Chain A
Amino acid sequence: MSKNTVAITGNDAAAYAIKQINPDVMAAYPITPQTALVQKFSEYVADGLVKTEFVTVESEHSAMSACVGAAAAGGRVMTATAANGLALMFEIVYIAASSKLPIVMPVVNRALSGPINIHCDHSDSMAARDSGWLQLYSENAQEAYDNTIQAIRIAENMKVRLPVMVMYDGFITSHGIEMVDFLDDEVVHNFVGDYQPNNPLLDPEKPLTYGPLDLYDYYFEHKRQQAEDIKNSKPIILDVAKEFEKISGRPYGLFESYQLEDAETAIVVLSSTAGTTKEVVDEMRAKGKKVGLLKPRVFRPFPYQEIAKALSHLKAVAILDRSDSFGAFGGPLFTEIRSAMMEFGKIPENIDIIYGLGGRDINEQDIEGVYNQLDAIAKSGKVKERIQYLGVRE
């Protein structure tokens, strides 16, 4: 165990990453289950351990509004939120992306109201999937820490200049204590580097206008450029991951494959449930079952070709969605992956499992059940029910 390994919650790990990143401005509003992050960061500010101007706004809407102002002014800007807080800032989340402002925001995944609920699901960040932000999902506290640091480099890359959300699961990761390996302050400082301003408001020699009225004669071209910019971030994400591996020894990609290469069936699942699934994979592999896992890390830009290719050899795949898309043909992860699989001739049989809404627990038996169902589908070639709900009383 290295001297930098500590037992810590996900929120404290993310707060520690922000302390080491040391942004010029942080504007944030506390919301469960993100609150402990903001509290911890407030302590860093109160103790003079960061240079950050901490703007203690009166709402998440103002948090993102102040972030937009601060980032346009020309410096490194961060915030953090969850669920209803993200929903309240929604209007400005879109404006941040379309203004090309490299804001980094941990989102501690929590179910959106209503009814009000404070526990984990992914309905909050999934609702923001078309906002133009990059999205990185984290399995545990270590990944929350690592992704937060990498997000700065990705967002601020001159070829990207887009905001990034870093997700980790509410309570499960945010409040659970895990072993996390921290990098040294200096290593993080060197990795993130100095902020490079790009068209700052605070340059009186070069006045400029942010946020003009953009009508039918230009808006579409600007949106087209936005589509291109986020697509172009993919190689940058991989470059940053490579560099990060050099300083941490921890590899990152667009997604993680676990026992996938020779698997016959597999589960695709985000964040903390992937950790539980790995346990099940190990147990079932020990019994000779060829099961695997694909855990997406980058959901925006969605690596559709890479994921489809990685799944193409399977006989059957279950995509687990911790959010619903009411009235749609499955949850967001399912619809995107099923659509992506059209890229390749042979499409494995596939089902969507919507689970865990509002913090409903999912355990190893549940996941084993999914693999058993996939086994039956692989043998029979028949899917009884394409979209299923797991763990709900019907």
Chain B
Amino acid sequence: MAKLKEVSKKQDILSSGHRLCAGCGASIAVRQILSACDDPVVVASATGCLEVATTIYPYTSWRSSFIHNAFENAAATISGVEAMYQSLKKQGKIDKEMKFIAFGGDGGTYDIGLQSLSGALERGHDFVYVCYDNEAYMNTGIQRSSATPRGVWTTTSPCGEVIPGKTQYRKDLTGIIAAHKIPYVAQASIWRWSDLIDKAHKAFYTKGPAFLNVLSPCPRGWRFPSEKTIKMAKLSVQTNFWPLYEVENGKWKLNYKPKERKPVTEWMEPQGRYKNALRPENKQLVEEIQKDIDDNWERLLILCGEK
């Protein structure tokens, strides 16, 4: 289990001085995850908040080697880096142990980058892919993605006279990745930092592809105060909105079970993006959202052998 004292001694690969917003969940996730790697690492990033805010020429916030290629191809890009590493290692031209990780937001992962990710997972490259899921295209100003939950306001799912925000449920990306039957898949939260760091360590040191889906609260896009990021991450888990689990070599395991599941409204109320959904006339919508969360939780319990 990760120990805070030890983690705090490590030098951050993502240095301070980057230009991500105050309270950004992504930078917290990245720092926690990279603290779990004991070898030199090459980082790839999809186009998105993380990339634009950490590599504004002529500056870089990365103490490791870093590559950004485009929006939809972080997985294919890191697969090329890893393939070159394997090739040179086999030829005896390189002997160092190195790790490879790609970060993408939900836009670059759930949507435009899904094909590239699926291909790289199927090919079995030895790499970690992390989705920092902030539930919309935040870099370009809060447009909906297939990770945006139902009932949420975004600039492309606005709350209008006829349509009350996003009408569809989010895509179950972690389930889709688990269906690739790669060695390690996990869903994690920056609130449970020790769990996340342990999962990241497993992901780095499992041979073959590994995937982490980390909910990344976004003060700007979710409309909550920037000091409440960890609180929001906590509520997402305590309401079962974002369950923590892992799938290791096909075996599903629940990593956190709230003593008492909090109602989804506790998760929704602090967020301005749910303001419209919480109006009295949308009571039924909230009930449906709650039912969806509870149904998904029941399915997860069965998959994890808890029921």
Contacts and interface: CB of A to CB of B under 8 A. Distances in A.
A207 B63 contact: yes
Given A55-B123, A68-B80, A213-B55, A201 B70 contact: no
Interface residues of A, number: 42
Interface centre among A62, A72, A203, A204 (most CB of B within 10 A): A62
Classify chain B: how many residues form its interface, as a range.
Answer: 35 or more
B83 A202 contact: no
A149 B66 CA distance: 31
Interface stretch (B4-12, B87-95, B208-216, B219-227): B87-95
Interface string A42-53: 000000000111
A66 interface: yes
Interface in B57-90: 57-60, 62-70, 72-73, 76-88, 90
A303 interface: no
A68 B88 contact: no
A352 to B, nearest CB: 36
Contacts of A74: 84, 88
Contacts of B42: 73, 201-202
A214 interface: yes
B48 to A, nearest CB: 11
B55 A212 contact: yes
B280 to A, nearest CB: 45
A68 B78 CA distance: 9
Given A211-B68, A213-B51, A218-B58, A202 B85 contact: yes
B69 to A, nearest CB: 5
Nearest to B64: A207
Given A69-B84, A214-B57, A62 B98 contact: no
A215 B84 CA distance: 30
Given A61-B73, A213-B56, A213-B57, A204 B40 contact: yes
A69 B78 contact: yes
A394 to B, nearest CB: 42
Contacts of B62: 207, 209
Interface of B: 40, 42, 44, 51-52, 55-60, 62-70, 72-73, 76-88, 90-91, 94, 96, 98, 115-116, 118-120, 122-123
26 contacts: A24-B88, A25-B84, A27-B80, A51-B87, A55-B83, A59-B119, A61-B73, A61-B76, A67-B80, A69-B78, A70-B81, A71-B80, A72-B67, A73-B42, A73-B80, A73-B81, A75-B87, A75-B88, A201-B42, A202-B98, A207-B65, A207-B66, A209-B68, A211-B55, A211-B68, A212-B59
